[in-house]
Amino acid sequence: MRSYSFFTIVLLCLAILLIDALAFYWLLSITRPITSILLKNSIYIAFWIFTIGLITSILLLKIKLELVAPERQQLIISRLYGLTVSSFIPKFIFVVVISILYFSNFVFSEQESLIIIPLVGVFSGFLPFFVILYAIFSAVYRFKVHHIKLNFDALPMRYNGLRIVHISDLHLGSFNFKYHNLQKAIKKINQLKPDFIFFTGDLVNNFAWELLGWDSVLNQLSAKQGKIAVLGNHDYGDYSQWPTPHDKQINFKGIQEFYKKIDFKLLMNEAKVFENSDTQIAIIGVENWGNGGFKKYGDLEKALEKVDDSNFKILLSHDPSHWPEEVAHHTDIALTLSGHTHGMQAGISFRNKKWSPIKYKYKHWAGLYKEGGQYLYVTRGLGWMGFPGRLGMRPEITLIELSCAKDMT
């Protein structure tokens, strides 16, 4: 959970004030045709009441954040993100669109400008606002199933048709103990009748207390052969100040113990081999390993120590930046499953086309990737962190169906 200084919050408020001043300047222009002085003044007063109210709310929430118990801090941070994004982005788009239209007004006649520019300006401001509201209050819980079919020469025939459900990044603290919001996802997962459920980390935002009561929800997950998990960067308690190292360790132990309550096998730089007569499949789990300032707890070499070369291997590794660095072309691991990026919780995802600003930080950020005969799948995540919504990146449940290439016709 990232902490922002009061100075940073003041700078944010000044940025909001600047954008609002520019927006008001253009608002004066597009309301010029309105003849009613009362209506004009009402619009202007409402505009500044909203701006002052927003800035006041952000400052009060920051002050409140320093005073409340840790259990309530995530809710306040989410409100800060929600208020800022829902106000700043629509007004920023409004200012940009209106500026472009006015500075290229030679395209329109004077009469057309009086009609077209105000209409386009209002639309450009209100549309993003309502889209963001939809992202916060609806899309964030519209769980989507992605169905992927892969075939491998090395897959033992015994595992032909193996059904894997891959989920990641629950961030249970963000749900604020609203257990019913995850029930729809649980139902969707069980309806897929998976052989395995694999969870690739970030169970919490930072604290073990976020898990209170969630065992009764996650215990409902059902898989025929097993449920297996690894840790993500948020599961170590690294994003908080702890009174002592011992307190941090107790928190970490609490998160590890929770997996036993929900019947998940937590793999920490180790592997679990499933054997059936002379065929074996190895599920390898590493602790968090990532580039870009993230601590590298993962040890793939250690995790592979007891894995026979003849095994068909699936790796669970939270951060997809691990794959090109240590997995692809470095091992014979057939399939790697990761999460971490959330698809930035904002972007475009339509059929086989996808785009998000996160692509400029992560080469592998959502969907399926292939190098030679090795695959990486990066899920967009099931929960959320920071901004309390999802724009074009719905929360994901992934069904991966494995086939033996020798059986393909």
Residue 319 has pLDDT above 70, yes or no: yes
Q: Which residues have a Cβ under 8 Å from the Cβ of 336 and sit 6 or more positions away? A: 314, 315, 316, 317, 320, 322, 323, 327, 328, 374, 375, 376, 377
Which contiguous run of DSSP H or E holds residue 378?
strand 374-378
Question: Which helix (H) or strand (E) covers residue 8, if one does?
Answer: helix 6-30
Mean pLDDT calculated for residue range 96-123: 71
Cα–Cα distance between 405 and 393 in angstroms, integer? 32
Per-residue pLDDT of 28-53, as tens digits, reads: 888 887 889 999 899 899 989 988 98
More confident residue, 407 or 210: 210
pLDDT score at 257: 98
Residue 90, Cβ neighbours under 10 Å: how many? 21
Give 48-65 pLDDT, tens digit per residue: 998 898 889 888 888 887
Please report the pLDDT score of residue 54 as a whole number.
Answer: 86
Domain boundaries, the chain: 6-137, 144-407
Q: Report how far residue 207's alpha carbon sits from residue 253's, in angstroms, rounded to the nearest whole number.
A: 11
Q: What is the pLDDT of residues 320-364, one digit of tens each?
A: 999 999 999 999 999 999 999 999 999 998 877 899 999 999 999
pLDDT for 9 beyond 90: no
Residue 42, amino acid: S
Position 105 scores a pLDDT of: 58
More confident residue, 24 or 277: 24
Q: How far apart are CA 130 and CA 90, in angstroms?
A: 9
Choose between 275 and 406: higher pLDDT: 275
1 pLDDT band, cuts 50/70/90, is very low
- Share the mean pLDDT of the chain: 90
**Buried residues in 367-383 as b, exposed as e (16+ CB within 10 A):** bebeeeebbbbbbbbbb
Q: Give the model confidence (pLDDT) of 253-311 as tens digits.
A: 999 999 999 999 999 999 999 987 677 899 999 999 998 888 899 999 999 998 988 78
* CA–CA dist 303, 282 (Å, integer): 11
Whether the predicted pLDDT of 2 surpasses 70: no
The amino acid occupying position 263 is: D
Chain position carrying tokens 């309550």: 261
Residues 114-141 have a mean pLDDT of 82
Phi and psi at 393, nearest 5°, equal -125, 75
pLDDT at 112 over 80: no
Q: The domain 144-407: what is its CATH number?
A: 3.60.21.10
115 has pLDDT over 70: no
Lowest mean pLDDT among 211-220, 256-265, 307-316: 307-316
Asked whether residue 409 carries a pLDDT value surpassing 60, the answer given is no
For the whole model, what pTM was predicted? 0.87
- What pLDDT is recorded for position 232? 97
State how far the alpha carbon of 217 is from the alpha carbons of 164, 184, 203, 221, in Å. Answer: 20, 11, 13, 8
The rounded Cα 232 to chain-centroid distance in angstroms is 13
Comparing 167 with 125, the larger pLDDT belongs to 167
Question: Worst-scoring range by mean pLDDT, 137-146, 225-234, 290-299?
Answer: 290-299
Q: Which residue has the higher pLDDT, 347 or 240?
A: 347
Instruction: State what percent of residues in the chain have pLDDT above 70.
Output: 93
